[in-house]
């Protein structure tokens, strides 16, 4: 299998700073403002073994909460998902630091992403 585990959860918001403050103050999730690769500034952190990110809402790309699964072979994982009924939402995008992510939807239209993290 080309997918190892749940790697991240991404949230989208029309007010990312407000949402990051809510999760940081209300739940203790240590979001910090970051910028890397081709992404605009966004809030993110690694907490309890999962990467969390809050991104500005983009209605054509995002769902409010999107699971991200880590793929050992991104091309093979995309091919397997599409063969099983997934649809490509956006093409592979370099995030910098050896990371590439792709957006898809499952047969019910739920958004998910696959990420490859260079080792």
Is the model's pLDDT at 62 over the cut of 80? no
Return the higher-pLDDT residue of 4 and 42: 42
Q: Where are the domains of the chain?
A: 3-117
The 3-state DSSP class for residue 16 equals: helix
**pTM, rounded to two decimals:** 0.81
Instruction: Give the residue, 52 or 40, on which the prediction is more confident.
Output: 52
User: Residue 113 pLDDT more than 80?
Assistant: yes
User: Which two tokens mark 13?
Assistant: 């918001």
Contacts of 116 (CB under 8 A, 6+ apart): 70, 71, 72, 73, 74, 99, 100, 101
CATH homologous superfamily for the domain 3-117 = 2,3-Dihydroxybiphenyl 1,2-Dioxygenase, domain 1 (3.10.180.10)
């Amino acid at each position: 299998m080309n997918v190892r585990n749940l790697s991240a959860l991404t949230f989208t918001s029309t007010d990312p700073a407000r949402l990051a403050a809510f999760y940081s103050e209300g739940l203790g999730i240590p979001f910090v403002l970051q910028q890397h690769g081709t992404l605009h500034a966004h809030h993110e952190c690694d907490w309890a073994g999962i990467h969390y990110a809050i991104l500005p809402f983009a209605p054509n790309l995002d769902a409010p909460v999107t699971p991200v699964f880590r793929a050992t072979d991104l091309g093979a994982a995309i091919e397997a998902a599409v063969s099983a009924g997934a649809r490509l939402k956006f093409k592979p995008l370099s995030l910098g630091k050896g990371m590439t992510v792709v957006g898809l939807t499952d047969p019910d239209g739920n958004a998910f992403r696959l990420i490859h993290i260079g080792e």
